[in-house]
Amino acid sequence: MQSRPYRGGTGDPRVFVLSRDTRPLMPCHPARARELLRKGRAVVARQVPFTIRLKDRRAAISEVDGVQLRIDPGSQGTGLALTDEKRTSEDDTAITVRRGLVSVELQHRGAQIQTRMRQRAGYRHRRRSANCRYRAPRAKNRARTDGWLPPSLRHRVDTTFSLAARLCRYAPVTEIHLERTAFDTHSMSAGTALLGAEYARGTLAGTTARAHLRAQWHDACAYCGATGVPLNIEHVRPRSRQGSNRIANLVVSCVPCNRAKGNRSVESFLADRPGLLARILGQTRPSLRDAAAMNAIQRRLTRALAGLGKPVHVWPGHLTSANRDIGGLPKTHTVDALAVGPLTHRGGGVIARVPDRVLVVKATGRGSYARTTPDRHGFPRLRRSRAKQHFGYVTGDLVIAVVPQGRWTGRWSGRVSVRARGQHSLSTAAGRLNVSHVHLRLLQRGDGYDYTVRPEPLFQRPEK
């Protein structure tokens, strides 16, 4: 029997509940959490994600059904969902009902790390080569350990594992379901499905890049159409803007056009020639960076999640897509996470509830290792302080400020940026203000992530 369509169940995200001895209990409805806090039976254990701790209940005497953690990993973002499943009968048929309790979207900063690493390499190269004609090559004494990953890829594994471990501390997770898909980058590069020996023949089989491009553009400059002049190989998306060396990102151009374009984007260079711009963009294809990153980290992520001590079940991506399409659900990371794993079990299955709000967790890091602040040319502008904590606060802490007078009189909450003189900067929904440390009260220490809440696209009302 096929899985049944989504029946439109909505609801508030559940609130995490801890026992008196800080063991995870089943998440509860926000109204129930407010009632427990009002009666004094619970206290706030954490602001984001909002978690309460009961005063009068221990985990040893509480019955916990358990929940499932479902993960849809991605290169730019990862979706995580906490669900529970129950068997019920409908029309004399047993079906599996899956309910979404909490939806979390984790936004990675792998691209930012890659840019910073490239920038740091440029600074290092300049320091070593300035005023030096020649430097002898060093021995290759920096051997990579087994299982080494570039920092931008290791960040994706570490942040996903960290957030999964945190959810396991706040909720009684009994099993983890992970989507794992292998991307055929060769077929994606060719733009069509390849079979057998076709994998051994690429775009440049029997020719060279220069000959292929000259034949494609009829021995003329791709930008001005000049013929009979020397032609250079030109990157449509410059290497300095993370452009690749794929043949789809290359054209031939004359020397004046090559110099005039420089490292500008092709959209700005050909803004006054939309027809030519459309032709050049028509040959380009999406970058394979994200697909290559996912192929590199998926096995490592599976092994890391197994270290949490929970059973890890791996499911193919086409199963997630089928569950989502049958239910008529939109494609987002959080909805895909909710649809990971089979819905059918000796009968039908149904997704009966999707949280109407998503907790967006953005990885921001805990600071910088740079000793100086550079200017736009890369030269040191000022020296940074090694002390990160000033007057008891660190940049990224969640605080409450009670401003007694002035333009910003009132009570404000937000993330703080510390200064050595004690006049800290507070970022709020209404803007940024300067406030003394004596008027601040700590709510939650910064943990390297920024938290916001957005509505699930499934429940957004259309604009009038």
**Which pLDDT belongs to residue 288?**
85
**Which pLDDT belongs to residue 231?**
93
pLDDT at 113 over 80: yes
**Which pLDDT belongs to residue 42?**
95
The pLDDT of 291-297, averaged and rounded, is: 92
**Which pLDDT belongs to residue 325?**
85
Architecture of domain 205-283: Orthogonal Bundle (1.10)
**Which pLDDT belongs to residue 2?**
41
Comma-separated ranges of CATH 3.30.420.10 domains in the chain:
64-109+154-181+291-363
Q: pLDDT higher for 80 or 283?
A: 80
Give the model's confidence band at 9: pLDDT under 50 very low, under 70 low, under 90 confident, else very high: low
The pLDDT of 295-312, averaged and rounded, is: 94
The CATH code of the domain at 385-446 is 2.30.30.30
Rounded mean pLDDT of the chain? 86
Comma-separated ranges of CATH 2.30.30.30 domains in the chain:
385-446
Q: For the chain, give the percent of residues with pLDDT over 70.
A: 92
**Which pLDDT belongs to residue 461?**
46
Residues in Cβ contact with 203 at an 8 Å cutoff, skipping those fewer than 6 apart: 189, 190, 212, 247
pLDDT at 1 over 70: no
Give the model's confidence band at 335: pLDDT under 50 very low, under 70 low, under 90 confident, else very high: very high
Q: pLDDT higher for 328 or 258?
A: 258
Q: pLDDT higher for 369 or 31?
A: 31
228's tokens: 């009979």
Point out which residues pair with 424 in neighbouring strands: 435
The pLDDT of 66-80, averaged and rounded, is: 95
- List the one residue out of 246, 237, 240, 217 whose CA is nearest residue 229: 217
pLDDT tens-digit readout, 409-440:
999 999 999 998 999 999 988 889 999 999 99
Q: For the chain, give the percent of residues with pLDDT over 90.
A: 49
Residues in Cβ contact with 38 at an 8 Å cutoff, skipping those fewer than 6 apart: none
Residue type (1 letter), 298: Q
- List the one residue out of 80, 6, 8 whose CA is nearest residue 459: 8
Residues in Cβ contact with 138 at an 8 Å cutoff, skipping those fewer than 6 apart: none
The pLDDT of 161-175, averaged and rounded, is: 95
Q: How far apart are CA 130 and CA 74, in angstroms?
A: 41
Cα four-point dihedral sign 125, 126, 132, 133? positive
**Which pLDDT belongs to residue 146?**
83
| Range 64-109+154-181+291-363 has CATH code 3.40.50.300 | no
Comma-separated ranges of CATH 1.10.30 domains in the chain:
205-283
Give the model's confidence band at 328: pLDDT under 50 very low, under 70 low, under 90 confident, else very high: confident
Least confident of 16-30, 332-346, 401-415: 332-346
Residues in Cβ contact with 58 at an 8 Å cutoff, skipping those fewer than 6 apart: 19, 20, 21, 23
Residue 173 — φ and ψ, nearest 5°?
-75, 125
Give the model's confidence band at 10: pLDDT under 50 very low, under 70 low, under 90 confident, else very high: low
Give the model's confidence band at 241: pLDDT under 50 very low, under 70 low, under 90 confident, else very high: confident
- List the one residue out of 450, 386, 381 whose CA is nearest residue 414: 450
Most confident of 20-34, 60-74, 340-354: 20-34
**Which pLDDT belongs to residue 61?**
54
DSSP state of 158: H
pLDDT tens-digit readout, 185-227:
877 777 777 777 777 777 777 788 899 899 989 999 999 989 9
**Which pLDDT belongs to residue 283?**
82
- Cβ atoms of 283 and 191 within 8 Å: the answer is no
**Which pLDDT belongs to residue 29?**
93
Cα four-point dihedral sign 226, 227, 232, 235? positive
* SS3 assignment, position 196: helix
Q: pLDDT higher for 184 or 167?
A: 167
pLDDT at 133 over 80: no
The pLDDT of 451-459, averaged and rounded, is: 80
